Chain A
Amino acid sequence: MIRNIGLALLMVVVTCLLLAVGYATSEGVNRSAGTPEGAVRSLYDHVRGRDWRGAMRYVAAASNTDERTFAKDVGGSDGSLRTFSTLQDIRTTVLHENDNDAMVRANTHWSSAVGSLYDTRDLHVIRENGDWKVIWPADKSPTAPPQVMAVNFLRWDIIHRAAGDDWASQDVAAPNARIMNMNALQHDLGNGLQGVMIVGEIENQDTVPAFVSVGATLIGKNGETLGEESSFDKISHTLLPKEVSPFRIDFPGVKLSDVKKVTMQPNALLVPASADPVIAVLHQRIETDARGHKLLKGELVNQSGETVNIPHVIATYYDDSGKPIWVSDGYVDHALEPQIPVPFAVDVRDDVGPNPKFRVTVNQYSIDRQGA
């Protein structure tokens, strides 16, 4: 009997402890951060769970930012790539620290549908009421002012031949797209792998939009197929009339000296498309960052009336004779609101020369675009 009562009491105590632990790990308790690094880590732990309220407990009052602004800055908005991303990993480095403030570098790794995204922030951490808290600068990026923009979508629709039509009746012809130039190179493919890459440009020479893809087959010295690949994300697939897109096709592990012939297979399909949005690429320049790496930087400006959710920047580099020698790309994790410049930066290979010629094009993905 006594043993039974003891067991019941023990179970009650354990239950209370578990409840307390659960409460403490939820939003119920504001864990204090004992170190600047701990404060940054705790903040990002809540960001990982998209718990903005929890994260705000580690944001210093001196930041003068509110939860909504913080959530927009860290979690993204307007259907941007950041809104579809998940924080995977955080690495912190204390740059300097004293009794009352510190500088912590936070390198974050986000996963998204288009691959990994990396972000680096140097965060000022201060002691506030005995706890370390992060000064999160208020997001000062402008928003589009209230206005009325006239939007006249230009759009193509396709009427294909009907099932009941006689067999000789023509369907609408596929667009005429042509590879303007191409170059096969031996390269480090940017992911640590050596291999052959085919870079080039394809133009829609027709008067209708085209969905293009480019395939390439490497043929060896004995006629054997060394590899067969197609362009995937280093190309703008939808091309308007007279639009030119770069493409890059990677063949990891293949040596250029083993390749006798390259067979290209451009493919173009007729697709419904919209002529909008128009995205200007302004102030393009190559800069060298603090680590000595070259970056192609600039600003994107959406000159249309609707938000572009996910901009995709593709840069083509040329040698002195105008042959393409490299294609790199990058996604911008901020949406493009009308007329609001958004900066971008794309890595530049160190071996493309001191002042390479380049061309930047912008691909875009928009959610629920009318006419798209």
Chain B
Amino acid sequence: MKFKLRLMIVVGALLSLGFFGMAAAQDDQPAKGAVGGLVSGAGGAVSGAPRVTLDVSSTAPRQVEDTTERAIVRDYGRAWHDMADALAQNRADLLPASFVGIAQQKLADRIAAQQKSGLETRIVDHGHNVQAIFYSPEGSAMELHDTAQLEIQVLDGSSVVNTQTVTARYTALMTVAEDRWKVRVLQETQ
């Protein structure tokens, strides 16, 4: 009987501590160490860009040139870096460097809504495995399938509302802009 009581007490205490601990982890300061490495990387987008690996082995109908492959890796990584900065700081002015058209508009809408609600989104980017599935015949548009490892925090003011570690799949459409490739569509898929 005593043993059962002690067991209940221990389990209860552990549950309590675990619960409080979890709640504390949620309500504490955001995971600055991890986030800061990405979001606070103010010295040039490329230096703070996440890891991107690109597979062009099954791209059709046009074969991806080496220079284009390098440019896509660079510019897609830069786009994620810029997006993370923009969503964390609620600054739509950071978007045009890497986004254009629909993607830029949707992100700008989200930033405006975040500002209105007093919210922020922080993304800890653990990298992207990208497959180029379409490269247009004249070489001005490319569709990518991206499997991204992300840790996403939603903040209300300074407190973290929710943290999710996800493996997300994105479809991205990149098109040639002035001097680089820019993301025109970025849509998460199942």
In the complex, chain B residues 64-118 whose Cβ is within 8 Å of any chain A Cβ: 100-101
Bound-state Cα–Cα, A168 to B102, Å: 12
Residues of A in contact (CB 8 Å), total: 2
Residues in B neighbouring A168, C-beta threshold 8 A: 141
Bound-state Cα–Cα, A168 to B176, Å: 11
| Nearest opposing residue in chain B for A168, CB measure | B141
| Nearest opposing residue in chain B for A166, CB measure | B101
Residues in A neighbouring B100, C-beta threshold 8 A: 167
B146-190 interface code vs A (CB 8 A; 1 in, 0 out): 000000000000000000000000000001000000001000000
A166-188 interface code vs B (CB 8 A; 1 in, 0 out): 01100000000000000000000
Residues in B neighbouring A167, C-beta threshold 8 A: 100-101, 175, 184
| Nearest opposing residue in chain A for B140, CB measure | A168
B102 CB, nearest partner CB in chain A, Å: 9
In the complex, chain A residues 53-89 whose Cβ is within 8 Å of any chain B Cβ: none
Residues in A neighbouring B175, C-beta threshold 8 A: 167
B27 CB, nearest partner CB in chain A, Å: 44
Residues in A neighbouring B101, C-beta threshold 8 A: 167
| Nearest opposing residue in chain B for A173, CB measure | B138
B7-25 interface code vs A (CB 8 A; 1 in, 0 out): 0000000000000000000
A263 CB, nearest partner CB in chain B, Å: 14
Bound-state Cα–Cα, A1 to B1, Å: 139
B180 CB, nearest partner CB in chain A, Å: 16
Bound-state Cα–Cα, A168 to B184, Å: 11
| Nearest opposing residue in chain B for A167, CB measure | B101
Bound-state Cα–Cα, A177 to B43, Å: 41
A141-167 interface code vs B (CB 8 A; 1 in, 0 out): 000000000000000000000000001
In the complex, chain A residues 282-323 whose Cβ is within 8 Å of any chain B Cβ: none
A156 CB, nearest partner CB in chain B, Å: 23
A118 CB, nearest partner CB in chain B, Å: 44
A161 CB, nearest partner CB in chain B, Å: 13
A86 CB, nearest partner CB in chain B, Å: 42
Bound-state Cα–Cα, A167 to B184, Å: 9
| Nearest opposing residue in chain A for B102, CB measure | A167
Residues in A neighbouring B184, C-beta threshold 8 A: 167
Bound-state Cα–Cα, A168 to B101, Å: 11
Bound-state Cα–Cα, A168 to B173, Å: 12
B178 CB, nearest partner CB in chain A, Å: 13
Residues in A neighbouring B141, C-beta threshold 8 A: 168
| Nearest opposing residue in chain A for B141, CB measure | A168
B134-145 interface code vs A (CB 8 A; 1 in, 0 out): 000000010000
| Nearest opposing residue in chain A for B175, CB measure | A167
In the complex, chain A residues 197-240 whose Cβ is within 8 Å of any chain B Cβ: none
Bound-state Cα–Cα, A156 to B100, Å: 32
B76 CB, nearest partner CB in chain A, Å: 18
Bound-state Cα–Cα, A168 to B175, Å: 10
A325 CB, nearest partner CB in chain B, Å: 34
A96 CB, nearest partner CB in chain B, Å: 67
Bound-state Cα–Cα, A167 to B140, Å: 11
B127 CB, nearest partner CB in chain A, Å: 29
| Nearest opposing residue in chain A for B100, CB measure | A167
| Nearest opposing residue in chain A for B136, CB measure | A168
B72 CB, nearest partner CB in chain A, Å: 18
B187 CB, nearest partner CB in chain A, Å: 16
A292 CB, nearest partner CB in chain B, Å: 53
Bound-state Cα–Cα, A156 to B184, Å: 33
A131 CB, nearest partner CB in chain B, Å: 69
Bound-state Cα–Cα, A184 to B175, Å: 37
Bound-state Cα–Cα, A168 to B104, Å: 16
Bound-state Cα–Cα, A237 to B181, Å: 30
Bound-state Cα–Cα, A229 to B86, Å: 40
Bound-state Cα–Cα, A48 to B62, Å: 65
A13 CB, nearest partner CB in chain B, Å: 73
A89-118 interface code vs B (CB 8 A; 1 in, 0 out): 000000000000000000000000000000
Bound-state Cα–Cα, A167 to B141, Å: 11
Bound-state Cα–Cα, A168 to B100, Å: 13
B18 CB, nearest partner CB in chain A, Å: 51
Bound-state Cα–Cα, A83 to B119, Å: 69
* A residues lining the B interface (CB < 8 Å): 167-168
* B residues lining the A interface (CB < 8 Å): 100-101, 141, 175, 184
5 contacts between A and B (CB under 8 A): A167-B100, A167-B101, A167-B175, A167-B184, A168-B141
Counting from the closest, the 5 A-B pairs by CB-CB distance are A167-B101, A167-B184, A167-B175, A167-B100, A168-B141
